[in-house]
Amino acid sequence: MGEWAVVTGASEGIGRAYAFALAERGMNVVIMSRTKITLDQVAKEIADKTGQKVKVIVTDFTKENVFGEIKDQLEDLNIGILINNVGMLPNFIPSTFLECADLDQTITKVINCNVKTMAKMCRIILPGMAHRGKGLIVNISSGVACIPFPLYTLYSASKVFVERVSQGLHAEYKDKGVIIQAVAPFGVSTRMACYVHTNIVTPSPEDFVKSSLCYLRAGDKTYGSVCHTLMGWVLQSVPLKLIHAESMLHSLQHYVKKKH
């Protein structure tokens, strides 16, 4: 497959869990995020636990023009796996489009982090995989991308982009030996989900990643677990008129505010 795995957004949560899981499977890992102190700590933990090499790249994916330097730092590595995990939720509390704080800046950041980064990282790494005739790219989407999702409109729409690009690229490159898959979890106990207690519906990042790795041959999209697959089916079977009802939207806002 290749000696190295690259994981974006690897300082915590799902990205950190992927980095550990791949290192435990014998791969060296490149971990990328914007907080050097946290990345250095994660790198030490991975190296100490697995004995694998860890390369740290500090970058802020919400910014413009970061990919030239990233490409230079990855150029000499034999990369077999890319995990496009980094993403941002612009509003923890569900809110309408115009209620988002610093809306113009938020739009730019969401597009840079959730949309542009995934495409640019594929642009950097996919050519080498296609040339070698093997590779794996996992792009983290979200369960909420399965329907138009009010009050998280920017976030859910950005994750639809992730899914469609993943599905298109998989069709283009599967015969060249490269698997490209969108993974669309619902709740996972991360900072984005306010670290809710883990259960069958909301697994820990480690449990979710362990489960999702079993679905790598499942096609161009997976929810990553049996429970989240069932949740996706249920959500798509509910009439949008009901989900988009004002009473339902108010209930969602109230529920999330209580969690915060």
Catalytic residues: 155
Q: What are phi and psi of 259, to 5 degrees?
A: -65, -30
137, 179 contact by CB (below 8 A): yes
The CA distance from 260 to 49, in Å, is 34
The CA distance from 67 to 61, in Å, is 9
Strand blocks (E) in 28-134: 28-33, 54-58, 79-84
Q: Which residue has the tokens 């809306």?
A: 103
The CA distance from 156 to 171, in Å, is 23
3-class SS string, 37-80: HHHHHHHHHHHHHHCCCEEEEECCCCCCCCHHHHHHHHCCCCEE
The CA distance from 68 to 112, in Å, is 15
End-to-end CA distance of the chain: 42
Q: Which element (helix H / strand E) includes 254?
A: helix 246-259
